[in-house]
Amino acid sequence: MLRKILCLAATALFTHAASADVLYTWQQVKHSPSTPDGLHLELLFTDAAVAQGSVDLNVVNLCNYGNCEQQQDSLLSLRYWYAGADGEQQWNMIDYRYGDETLPGLQRLSLALEFLPGGRLSGTIGANNGFSDFSMASDGAFFTLLAAHSDEENGCGFAHPSCAGERGLLRGSKPVRMLAQELGQDQPLPEPAGLATLAIGALAGWAARRRRAA
């Protein structure tokens, strides 16, 4: 039984190693005085979408209404917010997660993106959750915030009625490495392929012990 479990675990880990997701995060290049501090944007794509070279989506997330089967399968999540000068805020949060039935309301997404060499993106992005919205477009790999609004008081709400002009890059990286950095670990977390190797090693060790016992 243990052997079967280890074989299944190794197979699953190798499968995940072949489909490791890629997280693209906002890196500010130029700050606009019309935009609050601390713009954050994160987009998580499947590696199959990245390998395809481009993504063209117009999505109305109806998962909260029981229509998850209508979801696309390339963008796993999109998160957008302003952290403020102290970095502790979550103003104007838009939080889309593929197939998540727990999120209230709707998220409307419009993406026309190309995956560039060097882990960069280009194209256009727009999102609206009924409370906050934003749109941006790139010139090459450099994105500019075209407009952002919110019904909230802070962020791009009452204090900043015409947010625009923020410039930055969207760079890709493996979430496993980012998680290790966020946790402050001295050693990076093992990549999926490394985990699979450990599983195979455990299976080999178990088989060797069984032969000696026999």
Model pLDDT, residue 167: 98
Two structure tokens written together for 98: 């593929």
Q: Cα 77 vs. chain centroid, distance in angstroms?
A: 5
* Residue 88: φ, ψ to 5°: -110, -5
Amino acid type, 166: E
Number of Cβ within a 10 Å radius of residue 160: 21
Model pLDDT, residue 69: 62
Which residue is associated with the tokens 């019904």?
Answer: 151
Q: Cα 24 vs. chain centroid, distance in angstroms?
A: 6
Which residue is associated with the tokens 């399968």?
Answer: 73
Q: Residue 135 to residues 9, 80, 112, 166, 211: CA-CA distances in angstroms?
A: 42, 11, 12, 11, 63
Strand partners for 109: 59, 127
Q: pLDDT digit of tens for each residue in the chain (214 aa)?
A: 445 434 444 434 333 344 479 999 999 999 999 999 999 999 999 999 999 999 999 988 777 666 676 668 899 999 999 999 999 999 999 999 888 877 767 789 999 999 999 999 999 999 999 899 999 999 999 999 999 999 999 999 988 888 999 999 999 986 544 444 444 544 443 444 444 444 445 444 545 555 555 5
Amino acid type, 42: E
Model pLDDT, residue 59: 86
DSSP symbols for 72-92: -SSEEEEEEEE-TTTT---EE
* Rounded CA Rg of the chain: 21
CB 78 within 8 A of CB 42: yes
Axis-axis angle for helices 2-17, 192-213 (nearest 10): 160
